[in-house]
Amino acid sequence: MPQIPSLPGRGLPIQVHDSTTGELVVAAEGDTATMYVCGITPYDATHIGHAATYVGFDLLNRAWRDAGHTVTHASNVTDVDDPLLERATATGVDWWDLAVEQTALLAEDMTALGVVPPDVYRGAVEAIPDVVQAVEALIEDGFAYRVPVEPGAGGDAPELGDVYADLSADARFGAVSRLSRDDMVRLFGERGGDPERDGKKDPLDPLLWRRERVGEPSWDGASLGTGRPGWHIECAVIARDGLGLPFDIQGGGADLLFPHHEMSTSHDRLLDHGFGARNHVHAGLVAYQGEKMSKSRGNLVFVSALRATGVDPMAIRLALLAHHYRSEWEWTDADLPAGVERLERWRSAVSGNGGPDADATLAAVREALANDLDAPTAL
Ligand code: 5CA
Ligand code: ZN
C-alpha cells in the first residue's frame, strides 16, 4: 500500500466516459464509490498495456478519494482459463506454478508503480465454491442449461454436461456494448467464445461451467459435477460478492467491453434479478510495433524489464500518464526518456525551499482530473 498524500481542500466530482452511452457521467454519487477492475490472466505479466490500464484506474481511485469518497476496489486473477493452460502446456511448465509466479510479478510491478492495491482481490480458483453456487442458482431459475459433452469428457458423471447461460432469459442483453448481432458474433469468436459449439440454444450463449476434461485441472462442482468455471461468471461472482449489486464501475481495457463485460453484467443481472455494474469504463489499448500489445502476439514491453535497467518506476508512471487513459497510443522509444526527463525536472523544481503558492496549480490539476481523468493536461 503506497502512502497516499492528502491535499488541502477537496477535489471536484469526477466525470468519466461511459462506454455504453459515450457520455461523461459522475459514476459515484454517494459517499462511497465502488469499482471492479478486471485483473490479469497470469502468463506474460506485466506489459505496458496492462500497466497503462491499471495506472489509469489507479488515477480514478485516487481522484475519487481526493473528492471525498470512500472507495472499494475489487479485482480478480483469472488463474485458471484456456490461455493460461495452453501457455503452460506449450512451454512445458506447471500451469499453477506459472500462475503463482506471474501473479507475484504483477504485484511487484504494481507496487513499484505506486498502484493502490485492490481491497478485494480473489483468484478464479479460490472463488470456485461461490461460482458453483451461482451456476446452480441460474439453472434452478431456468437461466442456464446443460450441453452434452464429447465422449471421454465429464469424468465419472458425463451425463451432467457443460453448463451455458441462456441469454434469451435476459431481456437487456446487449445493452452494455450496443453492438450489432454480427459484430457480437464475430467478437465472441475472436475473444475466447465458442460460437460453433454444438448443442447451444444461441451461438452467443457463454460457458458457465466446463466439465472435467482429460489433462485439464478440475474441481468439485457439487451438483454440476467436476469441472472449472467459465470466464465471465468468475468476474460476475467476484464483483457481486466483493462490492454488492449494483456497483458503480466495471472497468478494464477496451478489449473487454464485448463479450466479457456484456456477459458478466448479464450474469449479475440474472443472479440479482436486477442490476450489474451501473457504468462501464474502458482504457484504450496500447500498441507496440504497429499492433496492439498482446500476450498472444508476443510484441511486449515488460514493466519488470524496464525496472531491471534501473529506471525509476515513477518515470514509467509518468510516461504512462502522459497519454490519456482512453486514447489508443503506441509505446515508442521516446516515451520512457520523456518520463525520466519530466521526473528529473519536477524533482529539481521541488527540491528547494519555498516556491510559488500551489493553490492555483492544485485547482487546475483537480479540474483536469475531474474532466474524464485528463492526466496529460494535469501533468
Ligand atoms: N483476466 C482477464 C480479465 S478478467 C484479462 O483480460 N486478462 S489480461 O491479462 O489479458 O488483461 C489484463 C487487463 O489488461 C485487462 O483489463 C485488459 O483489458 C488490459 N489490457 C490487455 N492488453 C492491453 C493493452 N495492449 N493496452 C491496454 N490494456 C490492455
Ligand atoms: Zn474480468
- Residues 58-83: tens digit of each pLDDT: 999 999 999 999 999 999 999 999 99
- What is the percent of the chain where pLDDT is above 90? 94
**What residue ranges line ligand 1, CB within 6 angstroms?**
38-41, 49-50, 52-53, 76, 78, 235, 252-253, 255-256, 283, 285-286, 292-294
For residue 294, CA distances in Å to 6, 40, 47, 128, 245 come to: 36, 12, 8, 27, 32
**Distance from C-alpha of 80 to C-alpha of 20, rounded to nearest angstrom:** 29
Ligand 1, pocket-test mutation among 37, 40, 57, most atoms within 8 A of CB: 40
- Residues 238-271: tens digit of each pLDDT: 999 999 999 999 999 999 999 999 999 999 999 9
64 Cα–ligand 2 center, Å: 22
Q: What is the pLDDT of residue 298?
A: 84
Ligand with the closest atom to the CA of 250: 2
253 Cα–ligand 1 center, Å: 6
Quick check: 293 and 303 in contact, CB under 8 A? no
Q: Which atom of ligand 1 is nearest to the CA of 76?
A: 4
Quick check: 11 and 63 in contact, CB under 8 A? yes
Q: What is the pLDDT of residue 297?
A: 84
Q: Which atom of ligand 1 is nearest to the CA of 252?
A: 16
98 Cα–ligand 1 center, Å: 17
- Residues 202-237: tens digit of each pLDDT: 999 999 999 999 999 999 999 999 999 999 999 999
Q: What is the pLDDT of residue 294?
A: 85
The residue whose C-alpha atom lies closest to atom 4 belonging to ligand 1 is: 38
Residue 296 binned pLDDT confidence (cut-offs 50, 70, 90): confident
- Residues 107-130: tens digit of each pLDDT: 999 999 999 999 999 999 999 999
Ligand 1, pocket-test mutation among 38, 43, 191, 257, most atoms within 8 A of CB: 38
Q: Which of 242-246, 260-264, 339-343, 353-357 has the lowest mean pLDDT?
A: 353-357
Quick check: 51 and 13 in contact, CB under 8 A? no
Q: Which run of H or E residues covers position 342?
A: helix 335-349
State mean pLDDT over 194-208.
97
What does the buried/exposed string (b/e) look like for 225-240 if buried means 16 or more CB atoms within 10 Å of the residue's CB?
bbbbbbbbbbbbbbbb
**Distance from C-alpha of 143 to C-alpha of 347, rounded to nearest angstrom:** 57
The residue whose C-alpha atom lies closest to atom 9 belonging to ligand 1 is: 40
139 Cα–ligand 1 center, Å: 30
Q: Which atom of ligand 1 is nearest to the CA of 292?
A: 25
Q: What is the pLDDT of residue 356?
A: 86
The answer to whether the bond into 356 is cis (omega within 30° of 0) is: no
Mean of per-residue pLDDT scores for the chain: 97
Q: What is the pLDDT of residue 74?
A: 98
Ligand 1, pocket-test mutation among 84, 105, 255, 261, most atoms within 8 A of CB: 255
Q: What is the pLDDT of residue 354?
A: 82
**Distance from C-alpha of 176 to C-alpha of 267, rounded to nearest angstrom:** 12
The residue whose C-alpha atom lies closest to atom 16 belonging to ligand 1 is: 252
* pTM beyond 0.85: yes
Given the C-alpha cell 524533482, which residue does it identify? 347
38 Cα–ligand 2 center, Å: 4
Ligand with the closest atom to the CA of 51: 1
Q: Which atom of ligand 1 is nearest to the CA of 77?
A: 1
